[in-house]
Amino acid sequence: MQVFQPIRHARTADEVAHQIEALILEGVLRVGEQLPGERELAHETGVSRPIVREALKSLEARGIVESRHGEGTFVADIIGTIFTPQISGLLASHRKATFDYLEYRREVEGVTARLAAMRATPADRELLGELIARMTAAFEANDFETEALIDVEFHSLIGEIAHNLVLLHTLRSCYRLLSEGVFQNRLRLYQAPGGRDLLYRQHRAIADAILAGDGDRAMEASRKHLDFVMEATRELEMREERERISSLRLAQREELPNRARARKQA
C-alpha cells in the first residue's frame, strides 16, 4: 500500500505538509526515518516539485523535519523534546521518580492495552505476531540484550495499535527515557533469578489478550506486568543497598588490622 497519497483538491504546499504531518502524528513516519526524494514525493502526491520543496521548507522551519546535506530529508527528533535534558537529569537523580514513572505507566498502559485489543486491525495483529516471534527467538536463545530492546519495541507497538495519537506520543516519550536508562537498567530485570521467564510470560499474556480482542484481559495483564516490574525494581534496589552496606562492613573489618599496625609503628 502506498504511504503517500495523491492530493486531489487544493494542490498546495500546505496540503503536502499536512499529509506529512499526519503520517508523523499517526506513527507511520518515525524519528530519524528518511522521506522520499522531491521527485518521488511529487509523483506520489501528484503535485509539482516546487510545491514539494516549499512544503519541506515549511516543515523544516518548524523543526518537524531536517535536511541533511547530501543525504536527504529526515523526520526530526521531536519526541525527545517532551522531556528536556534538564528534566531527564532531575528524574534520574531522584529515587521517587522511578516509582512515579512506573505508577504512571501502570495506569496508562493498562488503558492502552485495552484500547489496542478493541481497535487492532488485521495489519496490527500481523505486526504484533511478528514481534512476538522475534521476542520468542531471543528468549529461547538467552539473548538478554535483544530481549530488552524488544521489550521497549513491544510496548511502543501496543501504543500504536491503540490508535490514539496523544497516547502514542506521550508513551513514546516515556519509552525514550527507558531506552536511555534514565530510570532503570532493564537488563537487571532480565538477569534477576526467574526474571526472564516471568517477563516473557507476561508479555505473551498481554499480546494474547490483544490478539484475542479481549480488552479487559489485556488491561489486567498489562497492570499485572507493571506490578511485577515495580516490585522487582524495589527488590533489586534493596538488594543492591544491602550489598553496598555489606561491602563497606567487610572493607572496614579488613582495614582494622592495618590501622592497628600503623598505630603501633607510629
Distance CA 130, CA 128 (A): 5
Between the alpha carbon of residue 266 and those of residues 162, 260, 261, 263, the distances in Å are 73, 10, 9, 5
In a domain, 228, yes or no: yes
Rounded to the nearest integer, the mean pLDDT of the chain is 87
Instruction: Answer yes or no: is 259 within a domain.
Output: no
The pLDDT-based confidence of 128 (bands split at 50, 70, 90) is very high
For residues 58 and 89, state if they share a domain: no
Decide if 2 is inside a domain. Answer: no
Residues 161 and 121 in one domain: yes
- The CATH number of the domain holding residue 43 is 1.10.10.10
Q: What is the pLDDT of residue 266?
A: 61
Q: Which residue has the higher pLDDT, 173 or 62?
A: 62
Q: Answer whether residue 53 is part of any domain.
A: yes
Same domain, 96 and 56: no
Q: Is the pLDDT of residue 127 over 80?
A: yes
Q: What is the pLDDT of residue 141?
A: 95
Confidence (pLDDT) at 250? 85
Question: Which of 5-9, 158-162, 260-264 is most confident?
Answer: 158-162
Give whole-number Cα distances, 245 to 158, 171, 250, in Å.
41, 36, 9
Residue 95 domain flag: yes
Is 5:19 a contact under the CB 8 Å cutoff? yes
How far apart, in Å, are the Cα atoms of 222 and each of 72, 207, 225, 261? 40, 9, 5, 59
Per-residue model confidence as pLDDT tens digits over 137-153: 999 999 988 988 899 89
Q: Which domain holds residue 100?
A: 81-248
CB of 223 closer than 8 Å to CB of 106:
yes
Residues 229 and 143 occupy one common structural domain: yes
Check pLDDT > 90 for residue 244: no
Same-domain pairing of 36 and 89: no
pLDDT, one tens digit per residue, over 167-201 is 988 898 888 877 666 455 666 777 777 888 999 99
Among 24-28, 77-81, 226-230, the range with the most confident prediction by mean pLDDT is: 226-230
Cell of 125: 495483529
Task: Provide the Cα torsion 97, 100, 104, 106; round to 10°.
Answer: 120
Arithmetic mean of pLDDT, 246-259: 80
Alpha helices for 186-214 (secondary structure H):
186-191, 195-211
CA distances, 192 to each of 39, 100, 177, 229 (Å): 52, 22, 21, 11
Q: How far apart are CA 11 and CA 119, in angstroms?
A: 33
Q: Which residue has the higher pLDDT, 244 or 188?
A: 244
Please give the pLDDT value at position 79.
Answer: 64
Query: What separation, in Å, do the N-terminal and C-terminal C-alpha atoms of the chain show?
Result: 84
The per-residue DSSP string of 65-132 comes to EEEETTTEEEE---SGGGS-HHHHHHHHT-HHHHHHHHHHHHHHHHHHHHHHHHH--HHHHHHHHHHH
CATH of the domain at 199: 1.20.120.530
Q: How far apart are CA 101 and CA 175, in angstroms?
A: 10
**Does 264 fall in a domain?**
no
The verdict on 106 and 237 lying in the same domain is yes
Stretch 41-52: mean pLDDT: 91
3-state DSSP call for residue 164?
coil
263: pLDDT strictly greater than 70: no
Residue 241 within any structural domain of the chain: yes
Q: What band does 72 get if pLDDT is binned at 50, 70 and 90?
A: very high
| 212 pLDDT tier (thresholds 50, 70, 90) | very high
Together in a domain, 109 and 37: no
Regarding predicted confidence, which is higher, 37 or 98?
A: 37
Q: Would you say residue 99 has pLDDT above 90? A: no
Question: For residue 35, what is the DSSP state?
Answer: P
Q: Does 139 map to a domain?
A: yes
Q: Is the pTM of this model over 0.85?
A: no
Residue 192 CA to chain centroid, in angstroms?
22
Residues 156, 44: Cα–Cα separation, whole Å: 29
